[in-house]
Amino acid sequence: MHEMSLAESMLQIIEDAARTQKFTRVKTVWLEIGQLACVEIEAMRFCFDAAMSGSIAEQARLEIVETPGRGRCVKCSLEIPIATLYESCPGCGSYEVRVTGGNEMRVKELEVE
C-alpha cells in the first residue's frame, strides 16, 4: 500500500513546516489529490490517521480536495478532461493523449496553532 509512504512523506512536510514556521499543533490538513494520481482516497484516510499518530498532527482532520484529470491530444492539440489514463481524444480518436494535470498530490494548506 503506497498510501502509507505518501502519508509518512506528508508527516515529514508537516514537521518541516512546523520547525520553520514555529507551530505546535495541526488542526486540519487540506490535501489535493488528482484524479489520475493513483491514490486510493479511503486508504489515504486510513494511512493518514496511522502516520499522524503521536505527532503534532495526531488529531488533525484530513480534508481531501480532488482535482480532475486533464490532457492534451498530441495529434490535434485538443485540451480535454480525462478520467482515466489512456483515454482516446474525443476530437480525433487518437490515443496519444498526454496528461497535463490531475496526476499530482500536494499538501495544499494547514490549519495550525
Pairing mode of beta strands 105-112, 69-73: unpaired
- Please report whether residue 31 resides in a domain: yes
The reported pLDDT for the residue numbered 60 is 98
Instruction: Give bridge partners of residue 34 from the DSSP assignment.
Output: 67
- Please report whether residue 54 resides in a domain: yes
- Please report whether residue 34 resides in a domain: yes
- Please report whether residue 14 resides in a domain: yes
pTM: 0.86
The candidate with the shortest Cα–Cα distance to 65, out of 90, 94, 41, 82, is 41
- Please report whether residue 21 resides in a domain: yes
The domain in which residue 39 lies consists of 2-68+102-112
Instruction: Give bridge partners of residue 109 from the DSSP assignment.
Output: 30
CA-based end-to-end distance of the chain: 31
Quote the number of domains for the chain. 1
Q: Write the Ramachandran bin of 93: left for phi over 0, alpha for psi from -120 to 50, otherwise beta.
A: left
For 61-93, the pLDDT digits (tens) are 999 999 999 999 999 999 999 999 889 999 999
Average pLDDT on 16-43 reads: 97
